[in-house]
Structure 1
Amino acid sequence: MTSPYAAKPHSDEMKWVCFYPNFINKKCKAVEGRRVNLDIAIENPTPQEIFDILSHAGLKCRLEKKKTHPRDPNREPHFQGRVRVQLKNDDGSPCNEKFTNRQSLMKYACEMIPMLKTRQGGSSNSQPAASGKKKKR
């Protein structure tokens, strides 16, 4: 007897891979859900950043903002969420040859998130305005 889950095609969103920010968070321990090595992990990635990177790579993905990882100690709304990603076509072949499994997906996200404009420290060329009262002449 087969389960209803096994009978669904890979294009069904229920069979898409879940990607939580904890999987690549440098501040999380392995028992809290981190799945990549500390050498490549990112500090405090957001679900929106992961979604932006993966959708730009050409993958079908969906952002679910109200979901949290079961072992996530950080329940702040800014860090809540997960991204669902379709890795396989209905025939079982990868949607993108670059991403054949979850590990390749996580490694790609770890490489690309630091390159986002929101992550790069921009130097502000504007000088602070002098404050204070001007004297009357």
Structure 2
Amino acid sequence: MAAAAPPINVPSQARPWNPEFKHTDRERWICIYPAYLNSRKTLKEGRIVPKAKAIDNPVCAEIRDVCAAAGLTLGVENKVYPREMEPRDVKYRGRVRVMLKNEDGTPNVPQFPTRASLLKYLTETIPKLKSRQQSQSSSSQSQQQQQQQSSKGQKKKGGRK
């Protein structure tokens, strides 16, 4: 039986900044808001990735699932992006903190040495999620049904003679 890695002691609340924090301290982890990846946001509204690679309305849970599947150490916080226009709306809530580096500064997962590499991976992987594919197929079916109903309902009305 191989020795298991010691669990990382992660506080649930963020502490005030201290320059002596190590890379494994939660305060040094990178933050990812769904707005960073949202294709409906402008750069001014907080989108970081290029519009061509951005995702349509990503959710915090999708980011969490993809990061967890990639083997990253993460934490989810109930925060709202500061530039968000509707901060009380539940669908915009959530922030994912991800530990990218070990205590010595080496990448925790070699596939993700930087924040940019992680964001690129997220933009490639989130559209492939089953929940995304199911919602897209159901929305396209409902659009087709609406079009069929609207075309059936249109009859030429006879005007006054």
What TM-score, normalized by structure 1, do the two folds share? 0.83
Secondary structure at 2:71 match in 1: coil
Q: Percent identity?
A: 43
Instruction: Report how many aligned residue pairs link the two structures.
Output: 120
In structure 2, the residue matched to 1:70 is: 82
Of structures 1 and 2, the one with the larger relative CO (CA 8 A, separation 6+) is 1
Residues 8-57 of structure 1 deviation map (CA, whole Å, 9 limit, x = unaligned)? 11111011100000101000100111000001000100000000000110
CA distance in 1, matches of 2:31, 2:18: 15
What TM-score, normalized by structure 2, do the two folds share? 0.71
Higher helix share: 2
Residues 104-131 of structure 1 deviation map (CA, whole Å, 9 limit, x = unaligned)? 111100000011111003767xxxxxxx
CA distance in 2, matches of 1:5, 1:41: 34
**Based on CA coordinates, which of the two structures has the bigger radius of gyration?**
2
User: Which of 29, 37, 53 in structure 2 is aligned with 1:16?
Assistant: 29
Shift of 1:6: 2.0
CA distance in 2, matches of 1:40, 1:74: 24
RMSD of Structure 2 on Structure 1 (CA):
1.4
Unaligned runs of 5+ in 1: 125-137
Q: Which 4+ stretches in 1 moved above 4 angstroms?
A: none
Are 2:133 and 1:120 aligned?
Answer: yes
Secondary structure at 2:72 match in 1: coil
In structure 2, the residue matched to 1:92 is: 105
CA distance in 2, matches of 1:74, 1:43: 17
Secondary structure at 2:103 match in 1: coil
Give, as a single letter, the amino acid of the residue that structure 2 aligns with 1:71: R
Tell which deviates more after alignment, 54-63 or 113-122.
113-122
